[in-house]
Amino acid sequence: MHTDALVQEMGMGEERPPEFVEALAKGLTILESFDAAHNEMTLSEIARRAELTPAAARRSLITLVTLGYVGQVGKRFHLTPKVMGLGSAFYFAAGIEQTFQPELRTLVERFGDASSVASLQGHDVLYVAHYSQQRARRASAVIGARYPAHATSLGRVLLAGLPDEDLDRYFRQVEPVALTSKTVTNREELRRIIYRVREQGFATTVDELDYGVTALAVPIRGARGQTVVALNSSGYSGQVTPETLVAERLQELRTTASRIGQNIVRNPVLESTLAT
């Protein structure tokens, strides 16, 4: 994600305040350029993924290495455990454990499988809470994981909650990628799916994020009725179907989402943080 995309996620659009620190934005963009498929990179690879000039990337990397957030082995750079402190500070300060985890555990104890909460970050969903009894290999839904919104039930619920102008901007900017042979990538078809999610108040997906993942998601709403985050329940394709998830879990998911929403409303800082 380059600097302009980061600015858009912060809700600034094209208007940058006079105090905007370009160097800080570049450093954060570099940190976000690392992921499971790019866990170590050269300077030129980082510059390309962050959409920075090599000179700008080098200056930011020197700063990040000096501060201990990035390590270097030869010509390749990697994140260090110190980065985890940034995420854990949010996790504990925002009260994520108290707000979400007990409800997710209750859902999993009742239905088995897994349950997650995610927010929308740009074109991706970001998992902010997760609980699971599953052990098989599949796309990881650990806290902090990011996946393309178009391929997940959580993402489709979150997209459905956007104002029309923001949803239109998403479809202008997004380039849907196929994560499996089942992933819907046609923009017009995706738009129709999102409109249907708006109408019915839930989303389902089958094998679109990863083979073997069937999921049902509902919105969690804030004080003004806006979608703040989304809640899902997922199982193994072949053992569950979208129809059985809707019949057996939808009402409980909605009840749980309502309770979580009430807790979020009582914590304005958390609501503001999740909605950012």
Q: How far is CA 224 from CA 196, 202, 218, 230, 275, in A?
A: 22, 19, 17, 16, 12
The whole-number pLDDT of residue 94 equals 66
Identity at 1, one-letter amino acid code: M
The whole-number pLDDT of residue 11 equals 42
The whole-number pLDDT of residue 20 equals 87
Identity at 45, one-letter amino acid code: E
The whole-number pLDDT of residue 164 equals 95
The whole-number pLDDT of residue 134 equals 63
The whole-number pLDDT of residue 40 equals 94
Residue ranges of the chain whose pLDDT lies below 70: 1-15, 91, 93-94, 134-140, 276
Predicted TM-score (pTM) of the model is 0.78
Q: Where are the domains of the chain?
A: 3-83, 90-275
Q: Tell me yes or no: is domain 3-83 CATH 3.40.1480.10.
A: no
Identity at 40, one-letter amino acid code: E
**CATH class held by domain 90-275:** alpha beta
